[in-house]
Amino acid sequence: MIISDFLLYALLAGLGVAVAAGPLGCFVVWRRMAYFGDTLAHSALLGIALGIMLDININVTLIILPLIVAIILVNLEQRTSLSLDSLLGIISHSALAAGLILIALLPDVRIDLMSLLFGDLLAVTKQDLWIIYCVSAVAVGLLLALWKPLISMTVDQELATIEGHNVKLLRTALMLITAMVIAIAMKIVGILLITALLIIPAATASKLSETPEQMAVLASSIATLSVALGLAMTWYLDTPAGPSVVISASCLFGISQVVGRRTS
Amino acid sequence: MAEQLLSLSNICKHYGHKQVLDDISLSLIRGKITTLIGPNGAGKSTLAKIVLGLVSPDSGSRRCMKNLKIGYMPQKIKIDETLPLSTLRFVELTDRSSKKCLQALQTVGIASSAATPIRGLSGGELQRALLARAILQDPDLLVLDEPVQGVDINGQNQLYTMINDLAGQLNCAVLMISHDLHLVMSTTDHVICLNKHICCHGAPEQVTQDPAFINIFGQATTVYTHHHDHNHSLKGAAIEHSQKSASQ
Protein backbone atom coordinates (compact mmCIF):
# COMPACT_ATOMS: atom_id res chain seq x y z
CA MET A 1 0.00 0.00 0.00
CA ILE A 2 2.79 2.39 0.95
CA ILE A 3 4.59 1.58 -2.25
CA SER A 4 1.61 2.42 -4.42
CA ASP A 5 1.03 5.60 -2.42
CA PHE A 6 4.41 7.13 -3.12
CA LEU A 7 4.24 6.08 -6.73
CA LEU A 8 0.83 7.68 -7.04
CA TYR A 9 2.08 10.89 -5.38
CA ALA A 10 5.05 10.94 -7.71
CA LEU A 11 2.83 10.52 -10.73
CA LEU A 12 0.38 13.19 -9.56
CA ALA A 13 3.25 15.60 -8.82
CA GLY A 14 4.72 14.99 -12.23
CA LEU A 15 1.36 15.61 -13.84
CA GLY A 16 0.87 18.87 -11.93
CA VAL A 17 4.21 20.19 -13.13
CA ALA A 18 3.85 18.87 -16.67
CA VAL A 19 0.61 20.80 -17.23
CA ALA A 20 2.39 24.11 -16.59
CA ALA A 21 5.72 23.08 -18.10
CA GLY A 22 4.12 22.48 -21.52
CA PRO A 23 2.91 25.98 -22.38
CA LEU A 24 5.69 27.74 -20.47
CA GLY A 25 8.26 25.56 -22.22
CA CYS A 26 6.84 26.71 -25.55
CA PHE A 27 7.58 30.33 -24.65
CA VAL A 28 11.06 29.36 -23.47
CA VAL A 29 11.71 27.76 -26.87
CA TRP A 30 10.03 30.47 -28.97
CA ARG A 31 11.75 33.28 -27.13
CA ARG A 32 15.08 31.47 -26.81
CA MET A 33 15.10 31.77 -23.05
CA ALA A 34 16.77 28.43 -22.29
CA TYR A 35 19.84 29.95 -20.71
CA PHE A 36 17.64 32.39 -18.85
CA GLY A 37 15.71 29.46 -17.36
CA ASP A 38 18.96 27.84 -16.27
CA THR A 39 20.01 31.05 -14.53
CA LEU A 40 16.75 31.28 -12.62
CA ALA A 41 16.98 27.61 -11.66
CA HIS A 42 20.53 27.99 -10.40
CA SER A 43 19.62 31.00 -8.34
CA ALA A 44 16.81 28.95 -6.75
CA LEU A 45 19.52 26.90 -5.02
CA LEU A 46 20.92 30.10 -3.57
CA GLY A 47 17.38 30.91 -2.50
CA ILE A 48 17.08 27.67 -0.59
CA ALA A 49 20.42 28.20 1.14
CA LEU A 50 19.47 31.76 2.14
CA GLY A 51 16.06 30.57 3.32
CA ILE A 52 17.62 28.06 5.68
CA MET A 53 20.25 30.52 6.85
CA LEU A 54 17.78 33.31 7.59
CA ASP A 55 15.12 30.90 8.81
CA ILE A 56 12.54 31.90 6.21
CA ASN A 57 10.27 29.36 4.57
CA ILE A 58 12.31 27.99 1.69
CA ASN A 59 9.25 27.71 -0.52
CA VAL A 60 9.15 31.52 -0.43
CA THR A 61 12.85 32.26 -0.86
CA LEU A 62 13.11 29.76 -3.65
CA ILE A 63 10.67 31.78 -5.74
CA ILE A 64 11.78 35.23 -4.61
CA LEU A 65 15.50 34.86 -5.28
CA PRO A 66 15.10 33.93 -8.94
CA LEU A 67 12.79 36.93 -9.30
CA ILE A 68 15.38 39.26 -7.79
CA VAL A 69 18.01 37.80 -10.10
CA ALA A 70 15.70 38.30 -13.08
CA ILE A 71 15.20 41.97 -12.19
CA ILE A 72 18.94 42.53 -11.68
CA LEU A 73 19.55 40.88 -15.02
CA VAL A 74 17.15 43.13 -16.89
CA ASN A 75 18.79 46.22 -15.40
CA LEU A 76 22.35 45.04 -15.93
CA GLU A 77 21.64 44.14 -19.53
CA GLN A 78 21.06 47.77 -20.43
CA ARG A 79 24.21 48.96 -18.72
CA THR A 80 27.04 46.65 -19.62
CA SER A 81 28.73 46.03 -22.91
CA LEU A 82 28.72 42.29 -22.25
CA SER A 83 26.42 40.18 -24.35
CA LEU A 84 23.35 38.77 -22.65
CA ASP A 85 24.83 35.33 -23.18
CA SER A 86 27.98 36.06 -21.17
CA LEU A 87 26.03 37.95 -18.54
CA LEU A 88 23.74 34.97 -18.04
CA GLY A 89 26.74 32.66 -17.86
CA ILE A 90 28.33 34.76 -15.15
CA ILE A 91 25.21 35.16 -13.04
CA SER A 92 23.99 31.61 -13.53
CA HIS A 93 27.17 29.91 -12.41
CA SER A 94 27.96 32.44 -9.69
CA ALA A 95 24.54 31.80 -8.19
CA LEU A 96 25.03 28.04 -8.38
CA ALA A 97 28.50 28.27 -6.81
CA ALA A 98 27.32 30.63 -4.08
CA GLY A 99 24.39 28.35 -3.30
CA LEU A 100 26.62 25.29 -3.05
CA ILE A 101 29.11 27.10 -0.79
CA LEU A 102 26.40 28.46 1.51
CA ILE A 103 24.82 25.03 1.88
CA ALA A 104 28.19 23.51 2.71
CA LEU A 105 28.81 26.19 5.34
CA LEU A 106 25.44 25.81 7.07
CA PRO A 107 26.00 24.20 10.46
CA ASP A 108 23.78 21.42 11.81
CA VAL A 109 21.70 21.22 8.70
CA ARG A 110 21.41 18.01 6.82
CA ILE A 111 20.47 18.79 3.27
CA ASP A 112 20.36 16.18 0.61
CA LEU A 113 22.22 18.09 -2.08
CA MET A 114 21.67 15.35 -4.64
CA SER A 115 17.90 15.63 -4.28
CA LEU A 116 18.11 19.40 -4.81
CA LEU A 117 20.30 19.08 -7.87
CA PHE A 118 18.59 16.12 -9.50
CA GLY A 119 15.14 16.02 -7.90
CA ASP A 120 13.54 13.55 -5.58
CA LEU A 121 10.26 12.63 -7.18
CA LEU A 122 9.73 9.59 -4.97
CA ALA A 123 9.90 11.66 -1.78
CA VAL A 124 6.96 13.91 -2.70
CA THR A 125 4.59 14.38 0.24
CA LYS A 126 0.92 15.27 0.37
CA GLN A 127 1.87 18.84 1.33
CA ASP A 128 4.20 19.06 -1.65
CA LEU A 129 1.33 17.97 -3.87
CA TRP A 130 -0.82 20.81 -2.58
CA ILE A 131 1.91 23.36 -3.25
CA ILE A 132 2.58 21.93 -6.71
CA TYR A 133 -1.07 22.03 -7.71
CA CYS A 134 -1.70 25.54 -6.35
CA VAL A 135 1.38 27.04 -8.00
CA SER A 136 0.76 25.16 -11.22
CA ALA A 137 -2.86 26.35 -11.31
CA VAL A 138 -1.78 29.99 -10.86
CA ALA A 139 0.91 29.64 -13.53
CA VAL A 140 -1.46 28.05 -16.04
CA GLY A 141 -4.18 30.57 -15.18
CA LEU A 142 -1.79 33.47 -15.83
CA LEU A 143 -0.60 31.92 -19.10
CA LEU A 144 -4.19 31.45 -20.26
CA ALA A 145 -5.23 34.96 -19.29
CA LEU A 146 -2.24 36.55 -21.03
CA TRP A 147 -2.03 34.07 -23.88
CA LYS A 148 -2.81 36.35 -26.82
CA PRO A 149 -0.66 39.30 -25.74
CA LEU A 150 2.18 36.92 -24.86
CA ILE A 151 2.04 35.38 -28.33
CA SER A 152 1.95 38.85 -29.86
CA MET A 153 5.00 39.90 -27.86
CA THR A 154 6.80 36.69 -28.83
CA VAL A 155 6.20 37.32 -32.53
CA ASP A 156 7.46 40.89 -32.40
CA GLN A 157 7.92 43.16 -29.40
CA GLU A 158 7.79 46.42 -31.33
CA LEU A 159 4.59 45.55 -33.17
CA ALA A 160 3.04 44.39 -29.90
CA THR A 161 3.97 47.70 -28.28
CA ILE A 162 2.48 49.73 -31.12
CA GLU A 163 -0.68 47.66 -31.03
CA GLY A 164 -1.13 48.68 -27.42
CA HIS A 165 0.33 45.84 -25.36
CA ASN A 166 2.39 46.60 -22.29
CA VAL A 167 5.47 44.61 -23.20
CA LYS A 168 7.36 45.43 -20.02
CA LEU A 169 4.52 44.09 -17.89
CA LEU A 170 4.20 40.98 -20.06
CA ARG A 171 7.90 40.26 -19.78
CA THR A 172 7.76 40.61 -16.02
CA ALA A 173 4.74 38.30 -15.88
CA LEU A 174 6.55 35.70 -17.97
CA MET A 175 9.55 35.91 -15.63
CA LEU A 176 7.29 35.47 -12.62
CA ILE A 177 5.59 32.45 -14.16
CA THR A 178 8.98 30.97 -15.05
CA ALA A 179 10.23 31.42 -11.48
CA MET A 180 7.07 29.76 -10.15
CA VAL A 181 7.23 26.76 -12.44
CA ILE A 182 10.93 26.32 -11.77
CA ALA A 183 10.20 26.22 -8.04
CA ILE A 184 7.76 23.33 -8.39
CA ALA A 185 9.68 21.55 -11.14
CA MET A 186 12.65 21.37 -8.80
CA LYS A 187 10.87 18.64 -6.85
CA ILE A 188 10.60 16.54 -9.97
CA VAL A 189 13.84 16.86 -11.88
CA GLY A 190 16.04 19.04 -9.68
CA ILE A 191 17.82 22.32 -10.35
CA LEU A 192 20.23 21.07 -12.99
CA LEU A 193 17.63 19.42 -15.20
CA ILE A 194 14.70 21.86 -14.97
CA THR A 195 15.24 23.53 -18.32
CA ALA A 196 15.23 20.11 -19.94
CA LEU A 197 11.70 19.51 -18.70
CA LEU A 198 10.67 22.88 -20.17
CA ILE A 199 12.48 22.69 -23.49
CA ILE A 200 12.43 19.08 -24.61
CA PRO A 201 8.63 18.53 -24.62
CA ALA A 202 8.08 21.89 -26.35
CA ALA A 203 10.74 21.17 -28.97
CA THR A 204 9.19 17.75 -29.52
CA ALA A 205 5.74 19.28 -30.02
CA SER A 206 6.98 21.99 -32.41
CA LYS A 207 7.24 19.84 -35.53
CA LEU A 208 3.93 18.13 -34.92
CA SER A 209 1.76 21.24 -34.41
CA GLU A 210 0.12 23.79 -36.64
CA THR A 211 -0.97 26.37 -34.09
CA PRO A 212 0.64 27.72 -30.91
CA GLU A 213 -2.25 26.29 -28.85
CA GLN A 214 -1.79 22.83 -30.33
CA MET A 215 1.89 23.00 -29.53
CA ALA A 216 1.23 24.00 -25.90
CA VAL A 217 -1.25 21.19 -25.30
CA LEU A 218 0.94 18.67 -27.05
CA ALA A 219 3.97 19.79 -25.02
CA SER A 220 2.00 19.26 -21.81
CA SER A 221 0.97 15.79 -22.95
CA ILE A 222 4.53 14.90 -23.89
CA ALA A 223 5.81 16.17 -20.53
CA THR A 224 3.18 14.04 -18.76
CA LEU A 225 4.10 11.00 -20.79
CA SER A 226 7.78 11.60 -20.01
CA VAL A 227 7.02 11.66 -16.29
CA ALA A 228 5.06 8.40 -16.55
CA LEU A 229 7.76 6.71 -18.63
CA GLY A 230 10.48 8.01 -16.32
CA LEU A 231 8.69 6.65 -13.28
CA ALA A 232 8.20 3.29 -14.96
CA MET A 233 11.91 3.21 -15.71
CA THR A 234 12.71 4.04 -12.08
CA TRP A 235 10.31 1.34 -10.91
CA TYR A 236 11.66 -1.44 -13.07
CA LEU A 237 15.31 -0.50 -13.48
CA ASP A 238 15.85 1.29 -10.16
CA THR A 239 17.27 4.37 -11.91
CA PRO A 240 17.19 7.89 -10.36
CA ALA A 241 13.75 9.41 -11.05
CA GLY A 242 14.62 12.94 -12.27
CA PRO A 243 17.20 11.89 -14.88
CA SER A 244 14.87 9.07 -15.97
CA VAL A 245 12.11 11.58 -16.69
CA VAL A 246 14.49 13.73 -18.71
CA ILE A 247 15.89 10.80 -20.69
CA SER A 248 12.33 9.66 -21.48
CA ALA A 249 11.58 13.13 -22.83
CA SER A 250 14.76 13.00 -24.93
CA CYS A 251 13.72 9.64 -26.40
CA LEU A 252 10.31 11.06 -27.33
CA PHE A 253 12.08 14.00 -28.95
CA GLY A 254 14.24 11.62 -30.98
CA ILE A 255 11.19 9.70 -32.14
CA SER A 256 9.37 12.92 -33.10
CA GLN A 257 12.32 14.02 -35.24
CA VAL A 258 12.23 10.75 -37.18
CA VAL A 259 8.44 10.73 -37.50
CA GLY A 260 8.30 14.46 -38.31
CA ARG A 261 10.81 14.08 -41.10
CA ARG A 262 8.89 11.20 -42.64
CA THR A 263 5.58 13.05 -42.69
CA SER A 264 6.82 16.41 -43.90
CA MET B 1 -6.64 71.56 -45.14
CA ALA B 2 -3.33 70.39 -43.75
CA GLU B 3 -3.90 68.48 -40.56
CA GLN B 4 -0.68 68.01 -38.65
CA LEU B 5 -0.70 64.59 -36.96
CA LEU B 6 2.72 64.43 -35.40
CA SER B 7 5.68 66.69 -35.06
CA LEU B 8 9.22 66.33 -33.79
CA SER B 9 11.29 69.30 -32.79
CA ASN B 10 15.03 69.47 -32.17
CA ILE B 11 15.43 65.74 -31.57
CA CYS B 12 18.88 64.49 -30.56
CA LYS B 13 19.85 60.91 -29.84
CA HIS B 14 23.11 59.24 -28.78
CA TYR B 15 23.94 55.60 -28.44
CA GLY B 16 26.84 55.55 -26.03
CA HIS B 17 29.23 58.22 -27.28
CA LYS B 18 28.00 57.99 -30.82
CA GLN B 19 25.60 60.64 -31.98
CA VAL B 20 22.90 59.12 -34.15
CA LEU B 21 20.53 62.03 -34.62
CA ASP B 22 21.29 65.71 -34.40
CA ASP B 23 18.64 68.41 -34.13
CA ILE B 24 15.90 66.80 -36.17
CA SER B 25 12.60 68.58 -36.68
CA LEU B 26 9.81 67.34 -38.90
CA SER B 27 6.06 67.21 -39.10
CA LEU B 28 3.75 64.65 -40.63
CA ILE B 29 0.57 65.78 -42.29
CA ARG B 30 -2.56 63.79 -43.10
CA GLY B 31 -2.72 62.70 -46.72
CA LYS B 32 0.97 63.38 -47.37
CA ILE B 33 3.72 60.85 -48.03
CA THR B 34 7.08 61.75 -46.52
CA THR B 35 10.12 59.75 -47.58
CA LEU B 36 13.21 59.49 -45.45
CA ILE B 37 16.35 58.69 -47.38
CA GLY B 38 19.97 58.49 -46.37
CA PRO B 39 23.01 56.21 -46.38
CA ASN B 40 23.38 53.22 -44.07
CA GLY B 41 23.85 54.25 -40.47
CA ALA B 42 22.29 57.65 -41.08
CA GLY B 43 19.81 57.10 -38.25
CA LYS B 44 16.75 56.50 -40.41
CA SER B 45 15.40 53.58 -38.40
CA THR B 46 16.14 55.30 -35.10
CA LEU B 47 14.25 58.36 -36.27
CA ALA B 48 11.31 56.17 -37.32
CA LYS B 49 11.31 54.55 -33.89
CA ILE B 50 11.25 57.95 -32.24
CA VAL B 51 8.28 58.87 -34.40
CA LEU B 52 6.63 55.62 -33.32
CA GLY B 53 7.38 56.32 -29.66
CA LEU B 54 9.41 53.12 -29.33
CA VAL B 55 12.64 54.97 -28.60
CA SER B 56 12.79 58.10 -26.50
CA PRO B 57 15.10 60.89 -27.63
CA ASP B 58 17.84 62.37 -25.40
CA SER B 59 16.50 65.84 -26.04
CA GLY B 60 13.83 67.48 -28.12
CA SER B 61 10.13 66.89 -28.11
CA ARG B 62 7.56 64.73 -29.85
CA ARG B 63 4.02 66.01 -30.07
CA CYS B 64 1.20 64.04 -31.58
CA MET B 65 -2.53 64.16 -32.05
CA LYS B 66 -4.61 62.64 -29.28
CA ASN B 67 -5.40 58.92 -29.84
CA LEU B 68 -3.22 58.83 -32.90
CA LYS B 69 -3.49 55.38 -34.45
CA ILE B 70 -0.26 54.13 -35.94
CA GLY B 71 0.36 51.28 -38.35
CA TYR B 72 3.96 50.12 -38.49
CA MET B 73 5.70 47.95 -40.99
CA PRO B 74 9.12 47.05 -39.56
CA GLN B 75 12.22 46.54 -41.69
CA LYS B 76 12.33 42.88 -40.83
CA ILE B 77 10.67 40.55 -38.44
CA LYS B 78 12.28 37.53 -36.88
CA ILE B 79 9.93 34.79 -35.83
CA ASP B 80 11.45 31.71 -34.25
CA GLU B 81 11.16 28.66 -36.46
CA THR B 82 9.61 26.61 -33.68
CA LEU B 83 6.55 28.86 -33.47
CA PRO B 84 3.76 27.40 -35.61
CA LEU B 85 1.74 30.37 -36.88
CA SER B 86 -0.37 30.69 -40.00
CA THR B 87 -0.44 33.95 -41.94
CA LEU B 88 -4.04 34.52 -40.88
CA ARG B 89 -3.15 33.99 -37.21
CA PHE B 90 -0.28 36.44 -37.69
CA VAL B 91 -2.60 39.24 -38.76
CA GLU B 92 -5.19 38.16 -36.18
CA LEU B 93 -2.68 39.18 -33.49
CA THR B 94 -4.09 42.65 -34.08
CA ASP B 95 -7.21 41.45 -32.21
CA ARG B 96 -9.45 42.26 -35.19
CA SER B 97 -12.16 39.82 -36.31
CA SER B 98 -11.22 36.97 -38.65
CA LYS B 99 -13.40 38.51 -41.31
CA LYS B 100 -11.60 41.83 -41.17
CA CYS B 101 -8.24 40.07 -41.14
CA LEU B 102 -9.12 38.05 -44.22
CA GLN B 103 -10.26 41.23 -45.93
CA ALA B 104 -6.95 42.87 -45.13
CA LEU B 105 -5.08 39.89 -46.58
CA GLN B 106 -7.26 40.22 -49.67
CA THR B 107 -6.48 43.93 -49.93
CA VAL B 108 -2.75 43.26 -50.00
CA GLY B 109 -3.24 40.33 -52.37
CA ILE B 110 -2.22 37.32 -50.28
CA ALA B 111 -5.61 35.92 -49.25
CA SER B 112 -4.66 32.61 -50.85
CA SER B 113 -1.77 32.29 -48.39
CA ALA B 114 -3.96 32.73 -45.30
CA ALA B 115 -3.36 29.14 -44.14
CA THR B 116 0.33 29.10 -45.06
CA PRO B 117 2.75 29.15 -42.13
CA ILE B 118 4.17 32.65 -41.81
CA ARG B 119 7.74 31.35 -42.11
CA GLY B 120 6.79 29.70 -45.42
CA LEU B 121 6.04 33.05 -47.07
CA SER B 122 8.39 34.57 -49.62
CA GLY B 123 10.04 37.91 -48.90
CA GLY B 124 7.41 39.83 -50.85
CA GLU B 125 4.52 37.95 -49.27
CA LEU B 126 5.89 38.57 -45.79
CA GLN B 127 6.11 42.30 -46.53
CA ARG B 128 2.48 42.21 -47.62
CA ALA B 129 1.46 40.34 -44.47
CA LEU B 130 3.18 43.06 -42.44
CA LEU B 131 1.39 45.71 -44.47
CA ALA B 132 -1.95 43.93 -43.82
CA ARG B 133 -1.23 44.01 -40.10
CA ALA B 134 -0.38 47.71 -40.29
CA ILE B 135 -3.57 48.70 -42.13
CA LEU B 136 -5.72 46.68 -39.69
CA GLN B 137 -4.92 49.39 -37.15
CA ASP B 138 -7.06 51.81 -39.24
CA PRO B 139 -4.03 54.05 -38.98
CA ASP B 140 -3.87 57.82 -39.08
CA LEU B 141 -0.16 57.38 -39.63
CA LEU B 142 1.63 54.61 -41.49
CA VAL B 143 5.33 54.15 -40.79
CA LEU B 144 7.10 51.91 -43.30
CA ASP B 145 10.72 50.96 -42.78
CA GLU B 146 12.22 49.85 -46.10
CA PRO B 147 8.92 48.31 -47.22
CA VAL B 148 10.26 46.71 -50.40
CA GLN B 149 13.26 45.00 -48.88
CA GLY B 150 13.83 41.55 -50.33
CA VAL B 151 11.25 42.08 -53.05
CA ASP B 152 12.11 41.68 -56.72
CA ILE B 153 11.98 44.68 -59.04
CA ASN B 154 8.47 44.09 -60.40
CA GLY B 155 7.15 43.43 -56.91
CA GLN B 156 8.78 46.66 -55.70
CA ASN B 157 6.78 48.78 -58.12
CA GLN B 158 3.58 46.91 -57.30
CA LEU B 159 4.15 47.30 -53.58
CA TYR B 160 4.83 51.03 -53.87
CA THR B 161 1.70 51.49 -55.96
CA MET B 162 -0.28 49.52 -53.40
CA ILE B 163 1.08 51.61 -50.52
CA ASN B 164 0.25 54.77 -52.43
CA ASP B 165 -3.33 53.60 -53.10
CA LEU B 166 -3.83 52.46 -49.52
CA ALA B 167 -2.55 55.74 -48.15
CA GLY B 168 -5.14 57.50 -50.29
CA GLN B 169 -7.96 55.19 -49.20
CA LEU B 170 -7.07 55.41 -45.52
CA ASN B 171 -6.42 59.14 -45.81
CA CYS B 172 -3.44 58.82 -43.53
CA ALA B 173 0.00 60.32 -43.31
CA VAL B 174 2.86 58.08 -44.45
CA LEU B 175 6.45 58.11 -43.28
CA MET B 176 8.51 55.84 -45.47
CA ILE B 177 12.15 54.91 -45.23
CA SER B 178 13.78 54.11 -48.51
CA HIS B 179 17.19 53.51 -49.97
CA ASP B 180 16.45 54.48 -53.52
CA LEU B 181 14.71 57.72 -54.15
CA HIS B 182 14.03 57.27 -57.86
CA LEU B 183 11.54 54.45 -57.23
CA VAL B 184 9.45 56.51 -54.81
CA MET B 185 9.91 59.85 -56.58
CA SER B 186 6.56 59.79 -58.32
CA THR B 187 4.56 58.88 -55.23
CA THR B 188 6.21 60.94 -52.52
CA ASP B 189 5.23 64.47 -51.54
CA HIS B 190 8.12 65.36 -49.32
CA VAL B 191 11.66 64.04 -49.09
CA ILE B 192 13.93 64.31 -46.10
CA CYS B 193 17.55 63.51 -46.74
CA LEU B 194 19.08 62.33 -43.50
CA ASN B 195 22.66 61.79 -42.48
CA LYS B 196 22.51 62.13 -38.69
CA HIS B 197 21.21 65.65 -39.33
CA ILE B 198 18.77 66.75 -41.98
CA CYS B 199 20.93 67.56 -45.00
CA CYS B 200 18.10 68.89 -47.09
CA HIS B 201 14.41 68.44 -47.56
CA GLY B 202 11.61 69.44 -49.87
CA ALA B 203 9.77 68.20 -52.93
CA PRO B 204 11.57 65.28 -54.63
CA GLU B 205 12.58 67.22 -57.78
CA GLN B 206 13.97 69.96 -55.62
CA VAL B 207 15.93 67.63 -53.33
CA THR B 208 17.66 65.80 -56.16
CA GLN B 209 19.14 69.12 -57.29
CA ASP B 210 20.32 70.08 -53.83
CA PRO B 211 24.13 70.14 -53.42
CA ALA B 212 23.83 68.37 -50.06
CA PHE B 213 21.90 65.56 -51.68
CA ILE B 214 24.34 65.26 -54.58
CA ASN B 215 27.17 65.25 -52.10
CA ILE B 216 25.79 62.11 -50.44
CA PHE B 217 24.11 60.31 -53.30
CA GLY B 218 25.94 61.72 -56.28
CA GLN B 219 24.20 63.03 -59.38
CA ALA B 220 20.74 61.72 -60.08
CA THR B 221 22.15 59.29 -62.64
CA THR B 222 24.41 57.65 -60.09
CA VAL B 223 21.48 57.01 -57.79
CA TYR B 224 21.28 53.85 -59.85
CA THR B 225 24.36 52.47 -58.20
CA HIS B 226 22.27 52.02 -55.08
CA HIS B 227 19.96 49.82 -56.99
CA HIS B 228 19.73 46.16 -56.12
CA ASP B 229 19.08 45.01 -59.63
CA HIS B 230 22.44 45.63 -61.23
CA ASN B 231 21.82 43.54 -64.34
CA HIS B 232 18.92 45.65 -65.16
CA SER B 233 20.73 48.95 -64.80
CA LEU B 234 23.38 47.83 -67.28
CA LYS B 235 20.76 47.49 -69.98
CA GLY B 236 19.55 50.17 -72.38
CA ALA B 237 16.21 50.69 -70.73
CA ALA B 238 17.72 51.71 -67.46
CA ILE B 239 20.14 54.15 -69.03
CA GLU B 240 17.32 55.75 -70.94
CA HIS B 241 15.37 56.18 -67.73
CA SER B 242 18.31 57.76 -65.91
CA GLN B 243 18.82 60.30 -68.71
CA LYS B 244 15.24 61.28 -68.34
CA SER B 245 15.50 61.78 -64.61
CA ALA B 246 18.76 63.68 -65.01
CA SER B 247 17.10 66.14 -67.35
CA GLN B 248 14.38 66.94 -64.85
What pLDDT was estimated at residue A58? Answer: 83
Between A1-5, B62-66, B205-209, the lowest mean confidence (pLDDT) is in A1-5
Q: Which residues contact A227 (CB under 8 A, 6 or more apart)?
A: A11, A14, A15, A17, A18, A188, A245, A248
Structural contact between residues A244 and A231, judged by C-beta atoms closer than 8 angstroms: yes
Quickly state the pLDDT bin for A3 (edges 50, 70, 90): low
Rounded to an integer, what is the distance from CA A94 to the centroid of its chain? 19
pLDDT at B244 exceeding the cut of 70 = no
pLDDT above 70: residue B243: no
Q: Is the pLDDT of residue B50 over 90?
A: yes
- Each residue's pLDDT tens digit, B157-197: 888 888 889 988 999 999 999 877 777 777 888 999 888 88
Band of pLDDT at residue B220, cut at 50, 70 and 90: low
Please give the average per-residue pLDDT across A31-36, as a whole number.
89
CATH domain B4-69+139-246 topology: Rossmann fold (3.40.50)
How does the average pLDDT of chain B come out, rounded? 83
Q: Please state, for a pLDDT cut of 70, what percent of chain B lies above it.
A: 87
Answer yes or no: are the C-beta atoms of A119 and A241 closer than 8 Å: yes
* Res A1: pLDDT: 46
What's residue B223's pLDDT? 43
What pLDDT was estimated at residue B155? Answer: 82
Instruction: Give the best residue of B82, B135, B140, B144 to mutate against chain A (max A CB count within 10 A).
Output: B82
C-alpha to C-alpha distances, A169 to A150, A153, A165, B238, B245, nearest whole angstrom:
10, 11, 9, 52, 51
Percent of chain A with pLDDT over 90: 56
Shortest distance between the Cα of A76 and any Cα of chain B, in A, equals 15
Higher pLDDT, A261 or A92: A92
Greater model confidence, A117 or A249? A249
Q: Which residues in chain A (13-32) have CB-CB distances under 8 A to chain B? A: 29-32
Instruction: Report the residue of chain A nearest B82, measured CA to CA.
Output: A206
The residue that leads in pLDDT, A12 or B207, is A12
Q: Does A161 touch chain B (CB under 8 A)?
A: yes
User: What does the pLDDT average to over B44-56?
Assistant: 93
Residue B1 pLDDT level (bands cut at 50, 70, 90) = low
Per-residue pLDDT at B131: 94
* Closest residue of chain B to A147, computed from CA coordinates: B93
β-partners of residue B34 are B175, B190
Mean pLDDT calculated for residue range B38-65: 91
In this complex, is the C-beta atom of A151 within 8 Å of any C-beta atom belonging to chain B?
yes
pLDDT of A208 over the 80 cut: yes
Asked if A210 and B93 come within 8 Å (Cβ–Cβ), the reply is no
Comparing B93 with A259, the larger pLDDT belongs to B93
The residue with greater pLDDT, A82 or A26, is A26
Residue A18 has pLDDT above 80, yes or no: yes
Domains and CATH numbers, chain A: 2-255 (1.10.3470.10)
Confidence class for position A6, pLDDT limits 50, 70, 90: confident
A212 contacts chain B (CB < 8 A): yes
Comparing B160 with A204, which gets the higher pLDDT? A204
Which chain A residues are closer than 8 Å to B137 by Cβ? 162-163
B57-88: pLDDT as tens digits: 999 999 998 889 999 999 888 889 899 999 99
Do A30 and B89 make contact, defined as CB atoms within 8 angstroms? no
- Looking at residue A264, its pLDDT comes to 53
Reduce the secondary structure of B145-178 to three states and give it as a string.
ECCCCCCCHHHHHHHHHHHHHHHHHHCCEEEEEE
- Choice among A2-6, A228-232, B3-7, B67-71 with the minimum mean pLDDT: A2-6
pLDDT of residue B245: 41
Mean pLDDT over each residue of chain A, to the nearest integer:
89
Q: With pLDDT > 90 as the criterion, what percentage of chain B qualifies? A: 46
Q: Which of A106-115, A120-129, B3-12, B111-120 has the lowest mean pLDDT?
A: A106-115
- Best of A80, A158, A264 to mutate (most B CBs within 10 Å, chain B): A158
ipTM rounded to 2 decimals: 0.84
Strand partners for B35: B176, B191
Of B19, B63, B35, B59, the residue nearest B167 (C-alpha): B35
Q: B112, B120 in Cβ contact below 8 A?
A: no
Q: What is the DSSP letter of B179?
A: S
For residue range A214-226, list pLDDT tens digits in order: 999 999 999 999 9
> What are A74-96's pLDDT values in tens digits?
777 777 777 888 888 999 999 99
CA distances from A189 to A10, A31, B61 (A): 11, 23, 53
